[in-house]
Structure 1
Amino acid sequence: MSIALDAPHVTDEARELRAELVERAAKLRPLIASNADRADRERTVPAENVAALAESGLLSLLRPARYGGLQTDLRTLLEVSREIGRACGSTSWVTTLFNVNSWFVGLFPARAQDDVWADTPQSRVAGVISPSGTAAAANGGYLVSGRWAPASGSAHADWAMLGVKRPDAEGTTDATGLVLVPMSELTVEDTWFVSGMRGTASNTLIGKDIFVPAHRFHSTPDAVEGHYATPYTEEALYRSAFVPVATLVLAGPQLGLAEAAVDILREKAPQRSLSQTFYDIQAEAPFVQQAAAAAASLVDSAQLHAYRAAADIDEAAHHAILPDYDARARIRMDAAVAAAHAREAISLVCSAQGASSFGESNPLQRIWRDSETGSRHGGLRSDVASDAYGKSLFGIRGTVTAFV
């Protein structure tokens, strides 16, 4: 199930590649689905999932072609994330984060990109944007210390992108930024004990006085305003708007989780009885039919919002335009609405299926837990998004969050 909504500039060749990549993801669904309970139980995505995704090229969607990446677009990442999410929310989340962190690295100076990929083009990057560490000026760079969480996918990462504050640069655009650090220089503390998205291994990274050369620092305020350090300005993907990309990609796994829930309802309802009623099977009951229709429509709506936002981002990047504040606020709203609709669709399916939805052997309970957790990521909060978007509709800008 797909919604035909795309940026005007996208070529038939690009659409064919996207379809091929989604098909690759579909072929991996049996493997990933068979490991979904294990990922949830062991609190990490199994290594064979990661290896299969890497071999299929699905961890290189936003890596620069200069380093062997596919360098696709946001719509492609959303569709691949959705397809993987139909099998396992945690695996889809980690896939999404590895890809978007590759995009973040693509914004850094060329020397930093070379550090990550020149010798090891398959390097994977985990990341925490929130500036929960500090960077003190040192000769030729910075001494970085802090604790960063949640670092999704850190169990399978080679590098980490970490948010930092620079007290010495207060009042400038360098007061907060992102730094790139090899995972070998960090300690991982096992802190990810949660109800949903358990397999993402979103643990805490710890560093103390790690030297980071100056070229591996990127100003966050500059990035928010579309001022990137990459010299490869002809590469449209790396002209995409920073916050819209960072928030929208998080909706991809939610699309897949919701679609998986509707698939389960369509499969199970014609086979299951409806206790304490005269209906022989659930699918005969009008209220189950209505729930199915409402859930399926919410899934469609979630995709429409997400794909419209992706089209806006991809088209603006193609024309080397940073969307204005109002457009960025709407994109953030689209991402939040997509996640909220996906979550509501799953809730409807669980109610239609009854209390058995929450049996430990029923994949619906894992889907529900993953959605309830992942859709509440700070970047998908509908209250923040609607506050920023609602104010922007009245010309009130910049009073809610800097992350627009």
Structure 2
Amino acid sequence: MTARDVSHFLADDSDLPENERQLLGRARALIPRLAERAPVTTAERNVPPETIAEYHDAGILKILQPRRFGGLQGRFGLFSQIVEELTYGCASSAWVYAVLGEHQWIIASYPEQAQIDVWGDDPDAVAASSLAPRAAATPVPGGWRLSGHYSFSSGCDHAQWAILGVFLGEIGDPRTIAYLLVPLAETEILDDWQVLGLAGTGSKSLIVRDVFVPQHRCVMVSDLFAGTPPGALVHPDYPVVRAPRGFLVSYSLPPVAIALGRRALDIVCRDLATRVSRGVTKMAGSEVVQMTIGEAAAAIDAATLLLRHGRRATTEAVSSGRQITAAEALQARRDMVYAQHQIGWALERLCELSGARWVYDTDPLQEIRRDVMTILTHHAASRAAAYAPYGNMLLSRGRD
């Protein structure tokens, strides 16, 4: 795949500052290399080390890392746009970039000493995660001890640290959920990532056995979502750290699904433009085919518009330093969950239109469909978690 092959996918960057255009240009230069490695990435069930090295060399893993610790202290919108555009080369590689890159923001939210632990001797350090709380930490003098089985840790083979969700109190009490920071070397990586889609993300499980976590390597999830984590005092000049997590996080992983939808539409249109069905019917001349393509394209374009408009609006709001309301955070999540499911709907129509060809393992549409099906199982695409709080907010206004 060449830059020319994907140029029609790429968003306009003319309004970006020069430093951001340079970073975006470096990321775009990686797209053909990611595409070339994509078959190996899927076959090995892991992103190749050379891809991670190129992310480091391009500087794109430092976008959300604070300047004090060698990062660029950049805007979330640039990071999100890079996630989208890397997907045009390889979805699994873009997903791992999204995870490792976004976690620089979470690390920056911890108390100062935790950030020194991570970046003090290694400013290139990155963290994988398993954020759903899967165990209760046991309080001990100076911190906690933790044991548990933590699944879905994307990119863990390439990280130095792990961010693990825990209950600091009674299991099931959302008020006690925290993220503890643990060196990867103190965990065991269990290779259990044999899956339907996003096979190349290497999202293996982490086994933690009675690991001690000092008190300073803890951040409460409630503080992250309120925009009041300890790191906000460490980096008073970095507005991203003060942004409510729910306002920005919806623009981290969802761009992968939306870019995949655009890739799928391109593949099907190129194929059906010249295909003759059963040796008789020119499919491009069928009104049913034309209508289905048009409807799927509308859904994909609507999802893309929600992504790009929302990304721009949230980036501008955070950069302004103004207070972000709970309603804005709920709407951001609602929009991006809706956008991802629009992609899923459109992809079903496109696969049906494509006929039996997509069932072959060698057909690119099959991997895209498997990837999107897998993405739609993620919490970032959960309709219940997004729509119910938003609906409750609207209903509460009516009750007031």
Q: What TM-score results when the alignment is normalised by the length of structure 2?
A: 0.89
Give per-residue Cα distances to partners, 1:213-251, cap 9 Å, x unaligned: 211111112222221101212211212211233333121
CA gap 1:53/1:170 in 2 versus in 1, 3 angstroms: closer
- Does the aligned pair in 1 maintain the 2:135–2:171 contact within 8 Å? no
- Does the aligned pair in 2 maintain the 1:247–1:380 contact within 8 Å? no
C-alpha separation in 2, matches of 1:309 and 1:157: 30
Q: Matches of residues 207-356 of structure 1 in structure 2 within 5 Å?
A: 207-230=208-231, 231-275=234-278, 277-279=280-282, 282-356=283-357
Tell me the CA shift for residue 109 of structure 1.
Answer: 1.4
- Does the aligned pair in 2 maintain the 1:189–1:206 contact within 8 Å? yes
C-alpha separation in 2, matches of 1:373 and 1:80: 21
Q: Matches of residues 94-173 of structure 1 in structure 2 within 5 Å?
A: 94-167=96-169
CA gap 1:290/1:79 in 2 versus in 1, 3 angstroms: farther
Q: Matches of residues 71-86 of structure 1 in structure 2 within 5 Å?
A: 71-86=73-88
CA gap 1:352/1:220 in 2 versus in 1, 3 angstroms: same
User: Secondary structure of 2:121's partner?
Assistant: coil
Give per-residue Cα distances to partners, 1:41-82, cap 9 Å, x unaligned: 221112222222222222222122223323322322221111
Any runs of at least 4 consecutive aligned residues in structure 1 with deviations exceeding 6 A, and if so which? 168-172
CA gap 1:169/1:374 in 2 versus in 1, 3 angstroms: closer
User: Secondary structure of 1:132's partner?
Assistant: coil
In the alignment, does 2:39 pair up with 1:37? yes
- Does the aligned pair in 1 maintain the 2:167–2:173 contact within 8 Å? no
Tell me the CA shift for residue 94 of structure 1.
Answer: 0.5
Moved more, 126-135 or 194-203: 126-135
Tell me the CA shift for residue 195 of structure 1.
Answer: 0.4
Tell me the CA shift for residue 145 of structure 1.
Answer: 1.8
CA gap 1:195/1:135 in 2 versus in 1, 3 angstroms: same
In the alignment, does 2:381 pair up with 1:380? yes
- Does the aligned pair in 2 maintain the 1:144–1:211 contact within 8 Å? yes
User: Secondary structure of 1:207's partner?
Assistant: strand
Unaligned runs of 5+ in 1: 398-404
User: Secondary structure of 2:335's partner?
Assistant: helix
Give the fraction of aligned pairs with identical amino acids, expressed as a percent: 29
Matching residue's letter, 2:219: H
CA gap 1:244/1:120 in 2 versus in 1, 3 angstroms: same
- Does the aligned pair in 2 maintain the 1:45–1:199 contact within 8 Å? yes
Give per-residue Cα distances to partners, 1:293-350, cap 9 Å, x unaligned: 3333222211221233323432332243443222221111011012112222322332
Name which of 58, 61, 68 aligns with 2:60. 58
Matching residue's letter, 1:96: A
User: Secondary structure of 1:263's partner?
Assistant: helix
C-alpha separation in 2, matches of 1:252 and 1:134: 32
Matching residue's letter, 2:109: L
- Does the aligned pair in 2 maintain the 1:241–1:313 contact within 8 Å? no
C-alpha separation in 2, matches of 1:169 and 1:32: 41
- Does the aligned pair in 1 maintain the 2:293–2:350 contact within 8 Å? yes
C-alpha separation in 1, matches of 2:261 and 2:170: 46
- Does the aligned pair in 1 maintain the 2:136–2:171 contact within 8 Å? no
- Residue matched to 2:206: 205
Tell me the CA shift for residue 95 of structure 1.
Answer: 0.6
C-alpha separation in 1, matches of 2:76 and 2:291: 33
- Does the aligned pair in 2 maintain the 1:82–1:252 contact within 8 Å? yes
CA gap 1:20/1:329 in 2 versus in 1, 3 angstroms: same
Matching residue's letter, 1:334: D
C-alpha separation in 2, matches of 1:346 and 1:70: 37
Number of matched pairs? 388
CA gap 1:293/1:2 in 2 versus in 1, 3 angstroms: farther
Moved more, 45-54 or 66-75: 66-75
Moved more, 365-374 or 235-244: 235-244
- Does the aligned pair in 1 maintain the 2:10–2:85 contact within 8 Å? no
Task: Provide the aligned C-alpha RMSD in A.
Answer: 2.5
Tell me the CA shift for residue 199 of structure 1.
Answer: 1.1
Tell me the CA shift for residue 102 of structure 1.
Answer: 0.9
Matching residue's letter, 1:242: R
- Residue matched to 1:27: 29
CA gap 1:45/1:3 in 2 versus in 1, 3 angstroms: closer
User: Secondary structure of 1:45's partner?
Assistant: coil
CA gap 1:283/1:185 in 2 versus in 1, 3 angstroms: same
Matching residue's letter, 1:389: Y
User: Secondary structure of 1:394's partner?
Assistant: helix
Give per-residue Cα distances to partners, 1:160-213, cap 9 Å, x unaligned: 11111113899895x221111110000011222210111111111111221212
Q: Matches of residues 177-196 of structure 1 in structure 2 within 5 Å?
A: 177-196=178-197
User: Secondary structure of 1:195's partner?
Assistant: coil
Matching residue's letter, 2:307: A
User: Secondary structure of 1:367's partner?
Assistant: helix
